[in-house]
Amino acid sequence: MSDYKFFEQVNKAFDNAAQHSRFDKGLLGQIKICNNVYHITFPLERDDGTIEVIHGWRVEHSHHKLPTKGGIRFSMSVNEDETMALAALMTYKCAVVDVPFGGAKGGIKIDKSKYSDRELERITRRYTYELIKKDFIGPGSDVPAPDYATGAREMGWILDTYRQLTSNINSEACVTGKPVPMGGIRGRTEATGRGVYFGIREACENKEDMDELGLELGLPDKTFIVQGLGNVGYHAAKYMIEGGAKMVGVAEIEGSIYDSDGIDLEQLMTFRQETGSIIGFENTKELKNNTAVLEEECDILIPAALENQLNEENAPNIKAKIIGEAANGPTTARAHTILKEKGALIIPDNYLNAGGVTVSYFEWLKNLSHVRFGRLEKRAEETSYKKILTVIENISDRTFTDEEMARLASGAGEYELVDSGLEETMIVAYNEINNLRKKHDIDLREAAFLNAIEKIGVIYEHMGIFP
């Protein structure tokens, strides 16, 4: 929809929540506004020698904390309004999960499938160069990450470009979501999807809330439909299934499918890789178009693609009791109201998909400290556990086999520490916003915004206005 104003939608949700805050209009206005908006254009020489103009943006929404942080996406829907909206969501998201960054976002308006790898590399490196020129990238100023249609490979190009053009001992911390050998962190690729799972699981473990929705307690046996099998959707579905939920529907660009008996995720991924489509997979029923499955029977609906997917046209027909917003901005303000009136629990994007930036924060810390998490303490932990196990052996008639000893005494490595930090973050933040929801009799989205407004507002109160 061309008249869709995403930033306005985000601000509407902000305004709803702000009514419950104690801050005056001026301060709220300062929190809401985008601090820096940078529109970049540059020429790309295509492989066939022709020249094309590329448009990109980087928006730093809020400097109340530095660096600012947020992904870079490749999509034809990228424009200034979208980048501003997504940057604002990053600010609120970081505040909700206590990640000490301001929000930012970047985007390049291209359809990735139309360019060769060499062309994509040239685009990414030139975009990075433009960011460097204007100080829109750096370990202490603005730190990009992957987003829709970008991943570790692009982040590697960004780091390499930054490192060639600057001299900074902390240069690895200029971007997150990098390949592990380039300073990336284990667990970052799956982090957003894994966080989505932790958040939905936490919601499902709240007895009072499940009673209200008329659902059984716990994630096991709940059915879900996912939109988008990209990095976030795939990993969210994977962990949901491992947690005992059943995937009954999938929506992708080429169409949507449903099977109430459950769909095998790994086999579906292989099928799609081989045939280029999810249509025709096993016993699944093909629906009339690529969003029709969103209206099918399920307990949990996980939109994990782009914004504006649950709108006033399909919201009245959506049957899910829980909406887990893995994408950024998947539900329009109108759809949100409709779904809420129908009694659905909407777990908002600015909390639920914060797993990515949470692990990005860990990656940034790792890069600044120049040491892998667990490197110093892993063996010391193992030695202590072994001593305890040996004491247990000495005072009882229990002896441990070598395999048991190794398993019970293993210290936490980087992946285990990242995963436990992520789990803790998602659980604590869920309960924080759920308690606010109950306290003010508002919904979870308003609660997440309110939570962010309170945390950011206090900072502005303390710092005053400069100069």
How many beta carbons lie within 10 A of that of residue 455, not counting itself? 16
The yes or no reply on residue 147 touching ligand GLU (CB under 6 A) is yes
- Asked if 303 interacts with ligand GLU (CB under 6 A), we say no
Q: Does 62 bind ligand GLU (CB under 6 A)?
A: no
Q: Who contacts 424 (Cβ-Cβ below 8 Å, separation ≥6)? A: none
| Residue nearer to ligand GLU on the CB measure, 145 or 298 | 145
The contacts of residue 371 (CB under 8 Å, 6+ apart) are: none
Closer residue to ligand GLU, CB minimum distance, 298 or 359: 359
Site string for ligand GLU, 356-395 (x = CB under 6 A): xx--x-----------------------------------
Q: Which two tokens stand for residue 122?
A: 């040239």
Active site residue 105: yes
Q: How far is the CB of 364 from ligand GLU (least distance, A)?
A: 9
Region binding ligand GLU by CB under 6 A among candidate stretches 2-10, 246-254, 354-362, 389-397: 354-362
DSSP notation for 255-324: EEEE-TT---HHHHHHHHHHHS-STT-TTPEEPSSTTGGGGSS-SEEEE-S-SS-B-TTTGGG---SEEE
Q: How far apart are CA 254 and CA 278, in angstroms?
A: 7
For residue 415, what are the CA distances in angstroms to 362, 375, 421? 11, 11, 10
180, 74, 178: which is closest to 127 by C-alpha?
74
Q: Which of 9, 17, 62 is nearest to 35 (CA)?
A: 62
Q: Is 231 in the site for ligand GLU (CB under 6 A)?
A: no
CB of 381 to ligand GLU, least distance (A): 29
- Per CB under 6 A, 176 contacts ligand GLU: yes
Residue partners of 53: CB distance under 8 A and separation at least 6: 41, 42, 43, 44
Nearer to ligand GLU, 88 or 310 (CB): 88
Segment contacting ligand GLU by CB under 6 A, of 8-16, 66-74, 395-403, 456-464? 66-74
Binding segment for ligand GLU among 179-187, 290-298, 351-359, 409-417 (CB under 6 A)?
A: 351-359
Query: 378 with 411: CB under 8 angstroms?
Result: yes
Interface residues toward ligand GLU, by CB under 6 A: 69-71, 145, 147, 176, 328, 353, 356-357, 360
- Active-site positions? 105
